[in-house]
Chains A and B, each alone.
Chain A
Amino acid sequence: MEKELVNTILEKEFNELSSNERIALNDYCSSEEEFEHLKMVFLSVESLKKSETIQPSIETKNSLDDIFAQKHGHKQRAIWYNSALVVLYPKEKAFVKRPLVQIAAIGLLFLLAYPIINSSKIQDQTENQLAEVKVEKQKEKPSRVTTSNPVSTDSNVETGIEPIIYTRSEHADPIYEDVMVATAEMSVEEYIPEPEVVFAAEPAMAERPDGIYNESTTITFSQPASAQPQVFDLLTSTF
């Protein structure tokens, strides 16, 4: 009997058979009863195949291995990496239980966790450095001119483009008092701007690493451009 016919018997009911299939099966079964008996035979064969899980014993294999070794003169030399692989990667174990896989997984975890562990160290180092910088700056402060008047002394005027930074003490007037606001009552002539003091906050990083402005700390500002002729020339120059 062909495989297709066996499959037809296993998969279909008698009343589902086509005329061609009935003709092909006619020798084996002509009635529904006979068809069912035939189906039982092949169902039994299928379940028999599934239930037969017997394996030859280990002794049989060992004995055959000895015969093979005798026939070919020597036992095959074990290769070191094969024995290592047998230990590290035993195929009979589940994939996740193989030592090589477990070692690899631990290595991967460590690799992924290392930057996270290391980042806290880097952060500590950065904080230490910032603290050192802060201490150094505090030491440097007395050398600078501390004044409420933004007029520089000759010794503090630098010839470079960089603005000279002055430090203003806490007791100085608040910044907003220096800003003159024009009102509607004032005429154009009345509004004569005083020598303007332009303040620029020193980068907050110098005081606090997170850049948050803190009122209690000293306020720093740069020298006005008018006080630096070379900068003023640079700004007003035409090309």
Chain B
Amino acid sequence: MKIFRAQHNTFTDEELMQAISKGDKRAFDELYNRYAAALLRYFMRMLWKDREKSEDFVHDLFAKIVNKPEYFDPTRSFKTWVYSVANNMCKNEYKKAEVRKGMSNGLDNHYALSDTSVNVMNEVQDSFFQEAFVKNLAELDDKHKEAFSLRHIEGLSIKEIAEVLEINEGTVKSRLFYATKYLAESLKEFNPIENR
């Protein structure tokens, strides 16, 4: 294969973006393979485990990459940029949800979705403890949840998170500290010392 075509899997994300802007389809496929699943998981966590909505968001994000590749600043890290776009999309969705909530009859759709997702998680994971962790993570307020997810699940550095969320590094650390303490406190009922 190496004889016939360039090895796109050795390209950096930024190089792939340059190739995409020139119409290189394989570069787009490679970038999609690298980020689509991770972004879907991120959207799932941030959007109340709504699979359909998360799929739509992944689609919209990559459509943006195809249609407007010039929006990407090549001097920045692609990973940081794509997560900041994803984060802004989630924030917009939160605003829309707030508006819908104000217009609704008092029923909170997100809790309904969240409950469904918990059932789905039950099917996937047998661990009751794991389920509780996922539930507590979902119950965290958005700014702490996004910081915790980006740091510990997506694996971004504190500096990258600061860029994505457009806040300073001290604030990122503070949010991470709060989120970690909250989750640890919320899992107290599964006290491992008492269970020994």
Residues in chain A within 8 A of chain B (CB atoms): 1, 6, 27-29, 32-34, 36-42, 44-45, 47-49, 51-52, 54-57, 60-61, 63-65, 67-68, 71-72, 76, 79, 81-82, 85
Tell which of B28, B36, B176, B190 touches A40, judged by Cβ atoms closer than 8 Å. Answer: B190
B89 to chain A: which residues have CB within 8 Å?
none
CB pair A54 B180 closer than 8 Å? no
A-B contact pairs, 8 of them (CB 8 A): A1-B151, A1-B176, A32-B193, A33-B193, A40-B192, A45-B152, A48-B130, A49-B153
The answer to whether the Cβ of B97 comes within 8 Å of any Cβ in the partner chain is no
Q: Given the complex of chains A and B, what is the CA–CA distance between A40 and B194 in angstroms?
A: 14
The answer to whether the Cβ of B112 comes within 8 Å of any Cβ in the partner chain is no
Q: Given the complex of chains A and B, what is the CA–CA distance between A33 and B185 in angstroms?
A: 11
The answer to whether the Cβ of B41 comes within 8 Å of any Cβ in the partner chain is yes
Q: Given the complex of chains A and B, what is the CA–CA distance between A61 and B62 in angstroms?
A: 9
Query: Smallest Cβ distance from B144 to chain A, in angstroms?
Result: 13
- Chain B CB within 10 A, most for which of A38, A57, A60: A60
B25 to chain A: which residues have CB within 8 Å?
65, 68, 72, 76
CB pair A47 B127 closer than 8 Å? yes
CB pair B153 A36 closer than 8 Å? no
The answer to whether the Cβ of B133 comes within 8 Å of any Cβ in the partner chain is yes
Q: Given the complex of chains A and B, what is the CA–CA distance between A63 and B55 in angstroms?
A: 12
A64 to chain B: which residues have CB within 8 Å?
28, 32, 59, 62-63, 66
Query: Smallest Cβ distance from B26 to chain A, in angstroms?
Result: 8
Question: Which residues from 70 to 100 on chain B have a C-beta closer than 8 Å to any C-beta of chain A?
Answer: none
In the complex with contacts A54-B40, A56-B40, A48-B133 CB distance below 8 A: yes
CB pair A60 B58 closer than 8 Å? yes
Tell which of A41, A63, A85 touches B187, judged by Cβ atoms closer than 8 Å. Answer: A41
CB pair A54 B37 closer than 8 Å? yes
The answer to whether the Cβ of B2 comes within 8 Å of any Cβ in the partner chain is no
- Chain A CB within 10 A, most for which of B1, B41, B184, B193: B184
The answer to whether the Cβ of B67 comes within 8 Å of any Cβ in the partner chain is yes
- Chain A CB within 10 A, most for which of B44, B67, B180, B185: B180
Residues in chain B within 8 A of chain A (CB atoms): 1, 4, 23, 25, 28, 32, 36-37, 40-41, 44, 51, 55, 58-59, 62-63, 66-67, 124-125, 127, 129-130, 133-134, 151-153, 176-177, 180-181, 183-185, 187-188, 190-193
In the complex with contacts A33-B193, A44-B130, A51-B125 CB distance below 8 A: yes
A32 to chain B: which residues have CB within 8 Å?
193
B187 to chain A: which residues have CB within 8 Å?
37, 40-41, 44
CB pair A54 B44 closer than 8 Å? yes
Query: Smallest Cβ distance from B3 to chain A, in angstroms?
Result: 10
A40 to chain B: which residues have CB within 8 Å?
129, 133, 184, 187, 190, 192
B124 to chain A: which residues have CB within 8 Å?
51
B51 to chain A: which residues have CB within 8 Å?
54
CB pair A44 B59 closer than 8 Å? no
Query: Smallest Cβ distance from A185 to chain B, in angstroms?
Result: 93
Q: Known A-B contacts: A36-B193, A64-B66. Give 13 more (CB < 8 A).
A: A1-B177, A6-B152, A28-B180, A40-B133, A45-B133, A48-B133, A54-B41, A56-B36, A61-B32, A64-B28, A68-B66, A71-B66, A79-B4
Q: Which residue of chain B has its CB nearest to the CB of A28?
A: B180
